[in-house]
């Protein structure tokens, strides 16, 4: 990791310790407002409480003129507690969906995995994921799911069984919202570098490998949940070596 630390010091908290942000992405296309993941959540959400954080998603959306009612789709890269924090909020002592006009799009295999009888029940599923059913906000998908004619989901298993990326194609430009296929830029340069929270490490590595090849070949702009702000970059090649270039 020495090479990466020297070259990308802003992506480390200290030598040997990755710096992780918790980001969500907002995409607008032909009148549609699509949010990817809901992040850390308010101070009383399961993840924020544990980590002593207070999520800034709603403030960030308002800063760019978006109210919760404006969001029509929330796409989940996967069901981990740091990606579902703002699914619901408390209003006058009652729990309600944060984005009342949105469908919350989840991959079937992630839904099945967090509800499988062998899996230990985790409180964040009950608090942040299950209420989507009662509010009729849930949309389960599999395969490639068209969100708008410029956005399609792509099944990228490994970090979780139903992990998805969102592919964006607009004009002649392409982008991908990567979720946790890579939690640090080093993993895009060297796909064998593991992430401790990958559920299936072998599959996660394979996914990183083919997707990195594709992202490089197609010159995609990349947005990744845990990369340092602003969280956009590209894979470039210098002297035969693959490098991360932040944008």
Task: Between 82 and 110, name the residue whose CB sits nearer to Zn ion.
Answer: 82
Contact 96, 88 (CB under 8 A): yes
- We find the least distance from the C-beta atom of residue 37 to Zn ion, in angstroms, to be 8
What gap in Å lies between CA 101 and CA 97, rounded to an integer? 9
Task: Between 19 and 32, name the residue whose CB sits nearer to Zn ion.
Answer: 19
Which residues make up the interface to Zn ion (CB under 5 A)? 82, 180
Six-digit token pair at 109? 């295999």
Task: Between 82 and 109, name the residue whose CB sits nearer to Zn ion.
Answer: 82
- We find the least distance from the C-beta atom of residue 101 to Zn ion, in angstroms, to be 26
The CB-nearest residue to Zn ion is 180
Task: Between 85 and 233, name the residue whose CB sits nearer to Zn ion.
Answer: 85
Task: Between 82 and 127, name the residue whose CB sits nearer to Zn ion.
Answer: 82
Q: Which is nearest to 219 in space by CA: 146, 169, 183, 154?
A: 169
What gap in Å lies between CA 175 and CA 116, rounded to an integer? 33
- We find the least distance from the C-beta atom of residue 83 to Zn ion, in angstroms, to be 6
- CB atoms < 10 A from the CB of 59, how many? 9
- We find the least distance from the C-beta atom of residue 181 to Zn ion, in angstroms, to be 10
Task: Between 109 and 180, name the residue whose CB sits nearer to Zn ion.
Answer: 180
- We find the least distance from the C-beta atom of residue 78 to Zn ion, in angstroms, to be 7
- We find the least distance from the C-beta atom of residue 77 to Zn ion, in angstroms, to be 8
3-class state of residue 153 by DSSP: strand
Task: Between 22 and 111, name the residue whose CB sits nearer to Zn ion.
Answer: 22
What gap in Å lies between CA 88 and CA 57, rounded to an integer? 13
- We find the least distance from the C-beta atom of residue 93 to Zn ion, in angstroms, to be 30
Contact 176, 167 (CB under 8 A): yes
- Listed as own residue / partner, the contacts of 119-128 with beta carbons closer than 8 Å and 24 or more positions apart are 122/81, 123/46, 124/45, 124/46, 124/47, 124/81, 124/84, 125/79, 127/45, 127/46, 127/88, 128/41, 128/45, 128/46, 128/81, 128/84, 128/85, 128/87, 128/88
């Amino acid at each position: 990791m020495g090479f990466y630390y020297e070259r990308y010091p802003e992506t480390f908290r200290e030598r040997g310790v990755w710096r992780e942000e918790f980001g969500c992405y907002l995409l607008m296309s032909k009148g549609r407002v699509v949010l990817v993941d809901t992040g850390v959540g308010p101070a009383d959400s399961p993840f924020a409480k544990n980590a002593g954080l207070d999520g800034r998603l709603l403030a960030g959306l308002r800063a760019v003129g978006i109210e919760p009612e404006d969001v029509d789709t929330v796409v989940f890269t996967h069901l981990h507690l740091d990606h579902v924090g703002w699914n619901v909020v408390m209003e006058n002592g009652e729990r309600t969906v944060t984005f009342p006009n949105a469908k919350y799009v989840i991959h079937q295999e992630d839904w099945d995995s967090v509800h499988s009888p062998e899996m230990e029940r985790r409180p964040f599923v009950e608090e942040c994921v299950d209420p989507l059913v009662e509010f009729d906000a849930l949309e389960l998908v599999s395969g490639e799911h068209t969100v708008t004619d410029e956005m399609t989901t792509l099944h990228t298993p490994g970090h979780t069984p139903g992990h998805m990326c969102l592919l964006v194609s607009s004009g002649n430009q392409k982008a991908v919202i990567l979720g946790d296929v890579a939690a640090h830029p080093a993993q895009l340069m060297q796909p064998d570098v593991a992430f401790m929270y990958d559920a299936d490490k072998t599959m996660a590595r394979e996914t990183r490998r083919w997707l990195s090849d594709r992202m490089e070949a197609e010159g995609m702009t990349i947005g990744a949940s845990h990369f340092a702000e602003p969280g956009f970059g590209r894979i470039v090649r210098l002297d035969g070596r693959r490098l991360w270039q932040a944008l």
